[in-house]
Amino acid sequence: MNNTIKYSILASVLSLLATVIVTVIALHHINKLRPIKVFVEYYTCRIVDYVQPSEDKCKTLPTVSINLPQKVNAQQLGAPDPQALQVFFKSNSMEKHIYAHRTNSPERVLLYRKYYSAFEFDAIWDGQSGSIDIFHWPERESMDFHLSDFLTLAPDKSRYWMDLKNLDMNNVREFSNYMNLLVNKNNQLSKDNIIIESKNVQAVSFLENQGFRTSYYLPTNVDKDNCDNNRMLTDRIIGNIQDYPTRYISFPYAQQNYVDNCLLPITGEIAQISWGGLPFAIPEGASQRYHAYIVDHSLEYSEL
């Protein structure tokens, strides 16, 4: 390949990369561009190296590393960019079973309610105060934002998906009693419009028997492509599903092959709810397959 062709290819690719940068800047804040910058820098280096070879200089380029402070709350981290939300909703009409991810602050409730009628949030049962405290435990701090507060901000006829982080057999009865009281005195909440999700399958199955909609949050430390590599864990998951029935099983979208190939052939069909994929995107077929699906609205998952 002669130099004229090489430099023509280089110019075309660099022009394309420049277009990508301009587009992203138009849609998102500068402080979220670090991954894009590293991507562009690396591949520009590779193209230049193709034209003028050098010894592995591209390997010295920086990698993406984003470390956010752990002990902050969701309100301090803020809500994702409303402009990006507007772009997303111009091409997506939300069905009732599509949920906004990590609606863990009043600010996010007020933002997402413009687009959604279904909200996922993280919470713990606080036995000392007798309340459901909404925050992503243990990475984030409480801001004293409770489910009772959330219900006053959400639209009428909303749906809820609660990822309950600390549910166990020691607190499930106390939690169940509180939820029954909340349902009885609040028109915004019923046993049919909230999913209670937990990794503690025995405790969440107890709630299923109390008439709540529940989901067993499957372990995620599995080999997604090889059932034999997970045999002991898979057998335990199958036993849990069979011994402690719940309305749904829940897992990240990337774990679907594992569920299809390693679990369902033995357990039989079971209703599923899921999340994942790219920000501001719903994977093809997800809204049809899953009884509930969460949409992510942050370029950086760790910021949520």
Element (H, E) at 250: strand 248-252
Shared domain check, 18 and 98: no
Task: State the CATH number of the domain containing residue 229.
Answer: 3.20.20.190
Structure tokens given for 188: 């915004």
Residue 205 and residue 242 in one domain: yes
Element (H, E) at 38: helix 34-51
Shared-domain flag, residues 234 and 261: yes
Whether residue 28 is found in the same domain as residue 139:
no
Q: How confident is the model at residue 304 (pLDDT cuts 50, 70, 90)?
A: very low
Q: What is the pLDDT of residue 29?
A: 43
Indicate if 52 and 173 belong to the same structural domain: no
What tens digit of pLDDT does each residue of 94-122 get?
889 999 999 999 999 999 999 999 999 99
Question: Mean pLDDT lowest for which of 27-41, 92-106, 252-266?
Answer: 27-41
- Length reported for the chain: 304
Model confidence at 63, in pLDDT bands (50, 70, 90)? very low
- Confirm whether 132 is domain-assigned: yes
Name the most confidently modeled range: 115-119, 219-223, 273-277, 300-304: 115-119
pLDDT of residue 20: 46
Do residues 63 and 39 touch, judged by C-beta distance below 8 A?
A: no
Domain co-membership, 78 together with 30:
no
User: What's the pLDDT score for residue 245?
Assistant: 98
Asked if 84 and 296 touch (Cβ cutoff 8 Å), the reply is no
- pLDDT tens column, 43-56: 455 555 545 555 55
Percent above pLDDT 70 for the chain: 70
For residue 68, being part of any structural domain is answered with: no
Lowest mean pLDDT among 12-21, 205-214, 290-299: 12-21
Q: Are 46 and 58 in contact (CB under 8 A)?
A: yes
If you average pLDDT over every residue of the chain, what do you get?
82
Question: In this structure, are residues 102 and 122 in contact, taking their beta carbons and an 8 Å threshold?
Answer: yes
- 138: cis peptide before it, omega within 30°? yes
- Helices within the chain (DSSP H only): 3-27, 34-51, 74-77, 82-90, 106-112, 147-153, 172-185, 201-209, 231-243, 256-258, 264-267, 286-289
Domain span at residue 31? 3-60
Are 100 and 12 within one domain? no
- Are residues 177 and 242 located together in one domain of the fold? yes
